[in-house]
Amino acid sequence: MDGFDPRTSFGYEESRRYDATDTRGDEPETVAFLARLAAGRDALEFAVGTGRIALPLIRAGVRVDGIEQSQDMVDRLREKPGGQDLQVTLGDMSSAGTGRTYGLVYLVYNTIGNVITQDGQVRCFANAARHLAEDGVFVLECRMPTSPARPGRQFVEAQHIAVGQVVLEAGRYDPVTQVLDQTHIHISADGIDLRPLSLRLAFPPEFDLMARLAGLRLRDRWGGWTGEPYTSTSWRHVSVYEHS
Ligand SMILES: C[S@@+](CC[C@H](N)C(=O)[O-])C[C@H]1O[C@@H](n2cnc3c(N)ncnc32)[C@H](O)[C@@H]1O
């Protein structure tokens, strides 16, 4: 997207809005799944954000560290109860290191897509593998791409219509780069507010190849956090990788 910089897409304004708009309602199941896999070992969250998952996971008894690119998101995390209790390394999850290994590394909420090149995503898998203990697991949760199948690979959707406000989502997918450029457009009497985001979309088999390049292999794949089978109609996947 012209003018889009993935390093600044979660800046001050987005960090202030994040917890109000980006809570998904599946946090308890996510935390139960991750706590079970951690099995008493320490965990590392790539792109820890405001601690939507890390904080309840800590409350469930897991020691969690984080890597995060946005100082603003980390500032919001630090303001929350328990937000001082985890070590966060500020940097890019495809290269930054914490200097140790973990029983669980996880990357959820489609955030692999925030790395908008294939090379970057490959490096992200390699960095996850570097942080995994010998018997550790890397958990990736991501939506299945739908934009490639849209007519003309583009769309405008009315996400919310109220008397005083309309929220539209406009998107265009480029099959060459596999990048979806999308913008949430908030229109109200206060004016027009644009919230742009670019995401690189990939289907699970491409992620499995990235895992192989990193010396990992797929151990399990689910259609959700509660052990739903992964099928041709799954809208997302929860993939668990281990050292091969
Ligand atoms: C959708 S939020 C997810 C936050 C958190 N994992 C959650 O589930 O609520 C995406 C987060 O990824 C961070 N991020 C995006 N690209 C990153 C990168 N290359 N390295 C580290 N963090 C990144 C953003 O700053 C933002 O905090």
List Cβ neighbours of 173 (8 Å cut-off, separation of 6 or more). 147, 148, 150, 153, 154, 179, 180, 181, 201
Tell me, what CATH number does 210's domain have? 3.40.50.150
Q: Considering only CA atoms, which residue is closest to atom 6 of ligand 1?
A: 48
Model pLDDT, residue 222: 98
Do 47 and 160 sit in the same domain of this protein?
no
Model pLDDT, residue 209: 98
81 within a domain of the structure (yes/no): yes
Range of the domain at 151: 147-199
* Residue among 68, 76, 142 whose CB has most ligand 1 atoms within 8 A, to mutate: 68
Regarding the beta carbon of 108 and ligand 1, being less than 6 Å apart is answered: yes
Do 32 and 116 sit in the same domain of this protein?
yes
Do 53 and 122 sit in the same domain of this protein?
yes
Do 193 and 218 sit in the same domain of this protein?
no
Do 35 and 152 sit in the same domain of this protein?
no
Spatial distance between the Cα atoms of 4 and 196, rounded to a whole number of angstroms: 8
Do 115 and 156 sit in the same domain of this protein?
no
Model pLDDT, residue 22: 67
Specify the number of domains making up the chain: 2
6 within a domain of the structure (yes/no): no
Model pLDDT, residue 24: 82
What distance in angstroms lies between residue 71's CA and the mean position of ligand 1's atoms?
11
Cα–Cα distances (Å) from 94 to 91, 190, 226, in that order, read 9, 39, 28
What distance in angstroms lies between residue 163's CA and the mean position of ligand 1's atoms?
33
2 within a domain of the structure (yes/no): no
* Residue among 5, 8, 10 whose CB has most ligand 1 atoms within 8 A, to mutate: 10
Given a cut of 70, the residues of the chain with pLDDT beneath it are 22
Do 57 and 106 sit in the same domain of this protein?
yes
pTM of the model: 0.96
209 within a domain of the structure (yes/no): yes
Nearest atom of ligand 1 to the alpha carbon of 22: 9
5 within a domain of the structure (yes/no): no
Tell me, what CATH number does 170's domain have? 2.20.25.570
List Cβ neighbours of 192 (8 Å cut-off, separation of 6 or more). 185, 186
